[in-house]
Structure 1
C-alpha cells in the first residue's frame, strides 16, 4: 500500500493538507464499495513529531520525519504556508536533514502551493518544471534560477515530481494522481463525493477569465455571467444578453466591457472554448461537445479552437484524455 507522507510544520496551510487527504481517503472508500482493499495510507509528519499547529490554529498530530523509513511506492508531499512560516521551515535543520533522504527513494514527491520553496531550497527541484501559487511565481524564480516555474498551470507532473498551485489545486492534483494510480472512474467518483463542480486539468490557467470577470464585475454583470455559463448552447449575442440584463444594447456593451475588460462576444467565445477544452479531456464525441458549447457544427468548433489554442481539438483530446 503506497504510503503518502504529508510534510507539515508550524503555521502550515490546513487546506493544503486536508484537501488532498480527503481525496485519497475517499478513493479508499470508493474501492471498499467495490470490494477492493484500500490503496492509500496517509501519514502527517513533521521535523520533531507530535502536535503541529496550522495557520488556522487547528492542531494536527504528526510523526517525526527521522523515524520514517524510505519505502517502495512512497509519496512525499510538502504543504505550503505564508512567507514567515515558510522561511522558518526552510531554516529548520532537522527538516532539511530528513526530507532529502525520503524524497530520494520516493516513487513520487512534490508540493502543494508554496511548499515547493522547501524542496527548491534543498536542490530537489533543480531542472524541474513546477507549479506554485500565482503570488509565489516571481519569488521562486528569483530565489532558485535552476527551477522552471510554469506560471499558468494548476499543477505540473514532471516525471516523479508533482507540484500544484495555490490551496484548492492540491485537490485537483490529488485527483489526477488517483486517476493515474487507479482509474479515471474512481477519480470521478471521488470528485462527486467532494461535490466538485468539475475536475480541473493541470493545463488550466490559475487565472480563469470567468473568475476574473466575476471578481471585477458588479452583481448585475456577475449574475449574467453565471447565467450564460449555464446556457452556452443557446444564442448569446448582445441583443439577447442586453435583454436579459434589462439594458439597451449600447449601455450593456459599455458596462460589460468596463466590468470585464473584454467585449461580450470575446467573453462568450472564451467561456465556450474553455468549456470545450474541459469536455475534450472526457470521452465525448466532438459533435456532442460542439452542440453543448454552442459552437456547432464541429467545423466551427475546430476553427475557433485552433485559432485560440493553436491546436486542433482532436489532437488536444489525444494529449489530454482522461481515459487514455
Structure 2
C-alpha cells in the first residue's frame, strides 16, 4: 500500500482534498476490477485530530498528525484555503514542528492550491519551482523570493515536490501521480469515471480561452465558442463565424473582441494550438494533429506552434507523449 496523507486545518478548501482523494480511490477501484490489490491508502490528518470543518461548512474526520509515524506517509499533500485560515495554519506550532519531519521521510510531498504557502513558510520550497492559484502567484512570489512561481502551469513536478494551482487542478495532479505510480491506462479509466472533459497536463495554462469568454455572462458567443472548439478542423474565418452568428462581418468582429478580449483570428489560433498541444501529448503524429486542429499542412502547424510555445511540435511530442 501507498499511504497518502492530506494535511488539513480549520477553513481548508474541501475540494483540495476530496478531488485528489477521489482519484486515488478510483485507482483502487480500477485495480480491484483487474483482480489486483489496492495501491493507495488515503489518510486525512490535522494537528489535533477529530472533526475539522472546511470552508464549505462540511467537516471531515481526521487523525492527529502526531499519530502518523515518520516514513508511514509516502505522499504528503497540504490542502489550501483562503488567506485567514491559511495564515492561522502557517502559525500553528504543532504543524510547524510535525510537517517537516513527516515530509523528510516521504517519497513525495506537495500542496494543492494555496497549500504551498504552508510549505514555503517552513522553507521547504526554497530553490524550487511551484504552481499555485493564479490569484496568489504575485503575493506568493513577493513573500517567498527564493521560490520560483510558475503562473501558467496547472501543476508542477520538481523532483519529490508536486504542487498544483487552483482547486480542481489537484485532480489533474493526482491523475499524473497515478500515471507515475501505476500507468496511464488506470489514470484514463479514473478520469472517465469522474466524467472529466479531458486529462489536463501540467503545462496547460490556468487560463482557458473558453472559460475566459464564459466569465462574461452576457457574452452572446458562448454557444459559438463551444462550437468552435468542437470543429477546429473547419474553416473558422470571420465570414464563416459571422454567418453562423447571424451578424455582419464588421458587427461580429467588433462584438467578439468586446466579449472575449481577442480578435476572432487570435482566439481561433489559440484554441487550435492548445488542442494541438493536448493531441501531441497523446503521441499523435504531427500530420494527424495538423489535420484535426485545422492547421494543415504540418508546416503551418510547426510554424505557429513554435512561435507560441518556443519548441517544435515533434520535440514537444517526444518530451511529453504518454507512454
Q: Which residue of the partner structure matches residue 207 of structure 2?
A: 207
Q: Which residue of the partner structure matches residue 178 of structure 1?
A: 178
Q: Which residue of the partner structure matches residue 299 of structure 2?
A: 299
The TM-score with structure 1 as length reference comes to 0.97
SS in 1 for 2:221: helix
Which runs of 5 or more residues in structure 1 are unaligned? none
Query: Once the 2 structures are TM-superposed, how far is the Cα of residue 283 of structure 1 from its aligned partner?
Result: 2.4
Instruction: Report if the CA contact (8 A) 1:217-1:259 is conserved.
Output: no
Q: Using the alignment, how far apart are the partners of 2:314 and 2:282 within structure 1?
A: 12
Query: Once the 2 structures are TM-superposed, how far is the Cα of residue 220 of structure 1 from its aligned partner?
Result: 2.0
Query: Once the 2 structures are TM-superposed, how far is the Cα of residue 72 of structure 1 from its aligned partner?
Result: 6.0
Q: Which residue of the partner structure matches residue 118 of structure 2?
A: 118
Q: Using the alignment, how far apart are the partners of 1:295 and 1:303 within structure 2?
A: 10
SS in 2 for 1:151: coil
For the pair 1:227 / 2:214, whether they are aligned, the reply is no
Larger mean CA deviation between 186-195 and 144-153 belongs to 144-153
Instruction: Report if the CA contact (8 A) 1:23-1:171 is conserved.
Output: yes
Q: Using the alignment, how far apart are the partners of 1:219 and 1:129 within structure 2?
A: 36
Instruction: Report if the CA contact (8 A) 1:71-1:106 is conserved.
Output: yes
Q: Following superposition of structure 1 onto structure 2, how do residues 89-104 of structure 1 map, counting pairs within 5 Å?
A: 89-104=89-104
Query: Once the 2 structures are TM-superposed, how far is the Cα of residue 90 of structure 1 from its aligned partner?
Result: 1.0
Q: Using the alignment, how far apart are the partners of 2:16 and 2:207 within structure 1?
A: 19
Q: Deviations over 1:112-168 (max 9, x none)?
A: 001011111111111111111111111111211111111111100010000000100
SS in 2 for 1:60: strand
Q: Using the alignment, how far apart are the partners of 2:219 and 2:129 within structure 1?
A: 39
Query: Once the 2 structures are TM-superposed, how far is the Cα of residue 219 of structure 1 from its aligned partner?
Result: 3.8
For the pair 1:277 / 2:277, whether they are aligned, the reply is yes
Query: Once the 2 structures are TM-superposed, how far is the Cα of residue 12 of structure 1 from its aligned partner?
Result: 0.5
Instruction: Report if the CA contact (8 A) 2:5-2:73 is conserved.
Output: no
Aligned length: 323
Q: Deviations over 1:169-198 (max 9, x none)?
A: 000000000011111111111110100001
Query: Once the 2 structures are TM-superposed, how far is the Cα of residue 214 of structure 1 from its aligned partner?
Result: 2.6
Q: Using the alignment, how far apart are the partners of 2:142 and 2:167 within structure 1?
A: 22
Q: Which residue of the partner structure matches residue 196 of structure 1?
A: 196
Q: Which residue of the partner structure matches residue 263 of structure 2?
A: 263
Query: Once the 2 structures are TM-superposed, how far is the Cα of residue 217 of structure 1 from its aligned partner?
Result: 6.6
Q: Deviations over 1:82-127 (max 9, x none)?
A: 1110111111111111111100110000000010111111111111
Q: Using the alignment, how far apart are the partners of 2:201 and 2:147 within structure 1?
A: 22
For the pair 1:12 / 2:12, whether they are aligned, the reply is yes
Q: After TM superposition, where is structure 1 displaced by more than 4 Å over at least 4 residues in a row?
A: none
Larger mean CA deviation between 210-219 and 172-181 belongs to 210-219
Q: Which residue of the partner structure matches residue 65 of structure 1?
A: 65
Query: Once the 2 structures are TM-superposed, how far is the Cα of residue 236 of structure 1 from its aligned partner?
Result: 0.8
Q: Using the alignment, how far apart are the partners of 1:184 and 1:298 within structure 2?
A: 27
Instruction: Report if the CA contact (8 A) 1:49-1:63 is conserved.
Output: yes
The TM-score with structure 2 as length reference comes to 0.97
Q: Which residue of the partner structure matches residue 81 of structure 2?
A: 81
Query: Once the 2 structures are TM-superposed, how far is the Cα of residue 285 of structure 1 from its aligned partner?
Result: 2.3
Instruction: Report if the CA contact (8 A) 1:112-1:165 is conserved.
Output: yes
